[in-house]
Amino acid sequence: MNGRKNGNKRITLKMIAKIVGVSTMTVSRALNDNKHVDEGTRRKVRETARELGYFPNYIAKSLVQQRTQTIGVVVPEIAHSFFAQAVKGVEEEAWERGYQIMLTHSAEDTRRETHGARALASKMVDGLIVSTAESGSDVEFFKSLIKGGLRLVFFDRCIYDIGASCVSIDDVDSARRATEHLIDGGYRRVAHLRGSLALSIGRNRLRGYRDALAERGVPADDDLVVETAIHEHGGYEAMKKLLALPEEKRPDAILAVNDTSAFGAMMAIAEAGLRVPNDVGVVGFYNDVRADLMPTPLTAITQPAREIGKIAARKMLAHIEDDSLPPENVLVPTELIVRASSTRDAGSSPAASI
Amino acid sequence: MNGRKNGNKRITLKMIAKIVGVSTMTVSRALNDNKHVDEGTRRKVRETARELGYFPNYIAKSLVQQRTQTIGVVVPEIAHSFFAQAVKGVEEEAWERGYQIMLTHSAEDTRRETHGARALASKMVDGLIVSTAESGSDVEFFKSLIKGGLRLVFFDRCIYDIGASCVSIDDVDSARRATEHLIDGGYRRVAHLRGSLALSIGRNRLRGYRDALAERGVPADDDLVVETAIHEHGGYEAMKKLLALPEEKRPDAILAVNDTSAFGAMMAIAEAGLRVPNDVGVVGFYNDVRADLMPTPLTAITQPAREIGKIAARKMLAHIEDDSLPPENVLVPTELIVRASSTRDAGSSPAASI
DNA sequence: TTGTAGGCGTTATCAA
DNA sequence: TTGATAACGCCTACAA
């Protein structure tokens, strides 16, 4: 249970000092490229350090310097492509600046998110990059972290106005554009599989959807807004609810909060004997690899995950370098990738056939 | 550049001690559920700790206890589904035991792998879980880490016989079964898109492929073994080389070292005007989500990534708990998922039509 | 039950 | 150029 295997004591500055016959400070200076060291001494120190296989103890260094060169990262699901890409972006940017990342996933669970963040804070990360859990976040806890001096940057799923930066797409505008695309394509009863209102993406995409309806003069129908979990089964279940509506109330298009739920919805649509896009148009968010491979390729708003991760990391490093830097909400541009799932064959839609 | 924001000093045991009017040791004991503390004292300490928003400094704790409750992880590509899943498995298992993970990716590069591992070792991780880079590994470096007392567990891509544990599928046997499946399906000129020989998976899968040929009495042809990078473009390029062979030498089946290169190969096959599976059968490794979604679904050997990650983490925790535990090579069972890419229509193959 | 002393491995600071 | 000393925040060991 102790740190090292029996016998193999880790080499320390003190050991090298004893061998070379100088003080630990001289060794420290020699190894850290400090100018005020005799070249001969430096050579000797370097050599024995290499021979002994010395490498510095960053824990000790961190304790005295009060920084760990480590960034904590909390994501809801490591294995989801979007977050995996984002984490990669963070890691790349951190690596280039000599930082490591400490990764925790919350499994979309509030308690795990809080515990994970607390654990990383206890390990004295220089900052915390977080994307919040579907089941909601303990806002007061994050506030207290900030009050305690911890730097905090959210990405994709943010908590606003508590003094943290946020890096995300413009969810409202993106959802509006996607909805307008459906309406302009002749769809009249556009439904929204919305995300949890505990998530910024859930609230903002819902708002964009509603804005689009209002702007296009399409009457809003609350029956057409159904909550979905962000996974495939969630989309499937939510879609079944919509399909259970009386015929005249059923949607002819779906704006899904993300690709995964859109895939689930497409399954439910197929099971009901309906077809995409002629009976039901579908649009998702993210642009998953599968979007292009589905029997009917999926139209989607892109979320440049890796880029978002990179920007979040850069933002964090900027905050670390300058603690007086004010928090900022960074919006990353998106594109609407139009594929077959939202473009009816000419003349084949009920609406178009009027 | 200093650790905390201006003014907001982190709360320490000493501060709590001063406020409550006891020694730091009493505070430490009270907060760590030590029995020998008066209940009244404990209550007071707990209360002020909570009020002040205290949480322990694990850096200091780690320094004195000589363990960090942190496991380092080095993977070649965070964003590849296999590794993302594996990392998730590691994180889950670590989390349950109160460990965090520190994640680095090598980008398939030897130098980054070495630097990353060294950085994590410097941060005093209690152990290192590694999957090696395509460009090869600095074996001597890993040996020196082990000699220095660092616990090391490889997964998927291992370095054998240096005193580290390894968790992977049985690559030799899996490749043999996949190759036999192709031969038994009537394919006669089975080629292998092999991985780098710097990787255990590259060497082992090649061996399994050769074993199968030998066992089935199929003559081996070195022209049919071509190296591929593990990404899509690699598979595409490698396949083009095979298709450039004189007609009578061309393969009628491909064992690809992984799914991604198999997808690339399938693109090249389609571009050449050939068809999967009737002209060319294809088998991959991993069972990516895309396998089922391709125009011709891909037959593949499964690699239970998350499970592999979990087992690797458990192995690491076992090594941490008991330093005398000998290293072990753990083999995780696989399945061959047969899909359309390796099953010719009856009577349509040149071989079957004889 | 509580406190004191010392040290984990490193660096900042000041003195030589 | 080098070294002695103290400190980072906590815990182990021992003493009271």
| Interface contact A65-B3, CB threshold 8 A | yes
Q: How many CB pairs under 8 A join A and B?
A: 173
Tell me which chain B residues have a C-beta less than 8 angstroms from the C-beta of A53. 144, 147-148
Task: Name the CATH superfamily, with its identifier, for domain A171-303+336-342.
Answer: Response regulator (3.40.50.2300)
User: In chain B, helix, strand, coil percent, each to 5?
Assistant: 45, 15, 40
Chain B residue closest in CA terms to A98:
B119
Determine which of B59, B71, B316 to mutate to test the interface with A (most A C-beta atoms within 10 Å).
B59
Per-residue pLDDT, A9: 75
Q: How far is B37 from chain A (nearest CA, A)?
A: 24
Interface of B with A in 217-246 (CB under 8 A): none
Q: How far is B123 from chain A (nearest CA, A)?
A: 5
**What is the percent of chain B with per-residue pLDDT over 90, rounded to a whole number?**
94
Nucleotide nearest to B25 (CA to C1'): C3
d(CA A145, CA A160): 15
Task: Name the CATH superfamily, with its identifier, for domain A13-56.
Answer: lambda repressor-like DNA-binding domains (1.10.260.40)
Question: Residues with Cβ < 8 Å from A217, sequence gap 6 or more?
Answer: none
Nucleotide nearest to A24 (CA to C1'): D3
Determine contact, residues B125/B67, Cβ cutoff 8 Å.
no
Single-letter amino acid, residue A121: A
Considering only CB atoms, A100 lies closest to which of B57, B119, B324, namely B119
d(CA B101, CA A349): 52
Pairing of strands A336-337, A299-302: antiparallel
d(CA A30, CA A231): 55
3-class DSSP state of A307: helix
Buried b / exposed e along A41-52 (16+ C-beta atoms within 10 A): bbebbbebbeee
CB atoms within 10 A of CB B7: 6
> Which DSSP letter does residue B79 get?
T
d(CA B258, CA B288): 9
Residue B39 touches chain A, beta carbons under 8 Å: no
Q: Which residue is nearest to nucleotide C11 (CA to C1')?
A: A64
Considering only CB atoms, A87 lies closest to which of B60, B78, B306, namely B78
| Interface contact B1-A103, CB threshold 8 A | no
D15 C1' to B34 CA distance, Å: 19
Determine contact, residues B174/B301, Cβ cutoff 8 Å.
yes
Q: How far is B119 from chain A (nearest CA, A)?
A: 8
Q: Which of A341, A327, A334, A339 has its CA nearest to residue A160? A: A327
| Interface contact B123-A70, CB threshold 8 A | yes
Tell me which chain A residues have a C-beta less than 8 angstroms from the C-beta of B58. 122-124
D13 C1' to B55 CA distance, Å: 25
D13 C1' to B29 CA distance, Å: 14
Residue B105 touches chain A, beta carbons under 8 Å: yes
Residue B147 touches chain A, beta carbons under 8 Å: yes
> Which sequence spans correspond to the domains of chain A?
13-56, 69-169+305-332, 171-303+336-342
Q: Is the peptide bond before B277 cis (omega within 30 degrees of 0)?
A: yes
Q: What is the pTM of this model?
A: 0.95
The per-residue pLDDT string of chain A (354 residues; one tens digit each, 9 = 90 and over) reads 444 444 557 899 999 999 999 999 999 999 999 988 999 999 999 999 999 999 999 999 999 999 999 999 999 999 999 999 999 999 999 999 999 999 999 999 999 999 999 999 999 999 999 999 999 999 999 999 999 999 999 999 999 999 999 999 999 999 999 999 999 999 999 999 999 999 999 999 999 999 999 999 999 999 999 999 999 999 999 999 999 999 999 999 999 999 999 999 999 999 999 999 999 999 999 999 999 999 999 999 999 999 999 999 999 999 999 999 999 999 999 999 999 999 997 655 444 433
Which residue's structure tokens are 């320094």? Answer: B63
Chain B residue closest in CA terms to A96:
B112
Q: Which of A170, A255, A176, A173 has its CA nearest to residue A214? A: A176
Give the residues across from B102 on adjacent strands.
A102, B72
Chain B residue closest in CA terms to A143:
B53
Considering only CB atoms, B67 lies closest to which of A3, A65, A103, namely A3
D14 C1' to B24 CA distance, Å: 16
Single-letter amino acid, residue B15: M
Residues B205-222 have pLDDT tens digits of 999 999 999 999 999 999
Tell me which chain B residues have a C-beta less than 8 angstroms from the C-beta of A111. none
Tell me which chain A residues have a C-beta less than 8 angstroms from the C-beta of B122. 55-58
Please check whether the two domains, A69-169+305-332 and A171-303+336-342, share a CATH topology.
yes
| Interface contact B88-A79, CB threshold 8 A | yes
Q: Which of B243, B244, B264 has its CA nearest to residue B252? A: B243
3-class DSSP state of B31: helix
CA distances to A299, B242, B341 from B265, in Å: 27, 10, 12
Considering only CB atoms, A293 lies closest to which of B102, B151, B294, namely B294
Residue B50 touches chain A, beta carbons under 8 Å: no
CB atoms within 10 A of CB B266: 26
Nucleotide nearest to B20 (CA to C1'): C2
Q: How far is B324 from chain A (nearest CA, A)?
A: 8
The per-residue pLDDT string of chain B (354 residues; one tens digit each, 9 = 90 and over) reads 444 444 557 899 999 999 999 999 999 999 999 988 999 999 999 999 999 999 999 999 999 999 999 999 999 999 999 999 999 999 999 999 999 999 999 999 999 999 999 999 999 999 999 999 999 999 999 999 999 999 999 999 999 999 999 999 999 999 999 999 999 999 999 999 999 999 999 999 999 999 999 999 999 999 999 999 999 999 999 999 999 999 999 999 999 999 999 999 999 999 999 999 999 999 999 999 999 999 999 999 999 999 999 999 999 999 999 999 999 999 999 999 999 999 997 655 444 433
Cα B115-B135-B175 angle, rounded to 5 deg: 125
Question: Residues with Cβ < 8 Å from B84, sequence gap 6 or more?
Answer: A78, A79, A81, A84, B78, B305
CATH 3.40.50.2300 fits B69-169+305-332, yes or no: yes
Phi, psi of A186 (to 5 degrees): 100, 0
Interface of B with A in 311-330 (CB under 8 A): 320-321, 323-324
Angle of the A24-31 helix axis to the A39-52 helix axis, nearest 10: 90
- What is the token pair recorded at A268? 């439910």
| Interface contact B91-A85, CB threshold 8 A | no
Determine contact, residues B192/B206, Cβ cutoff 8 Å.
yes
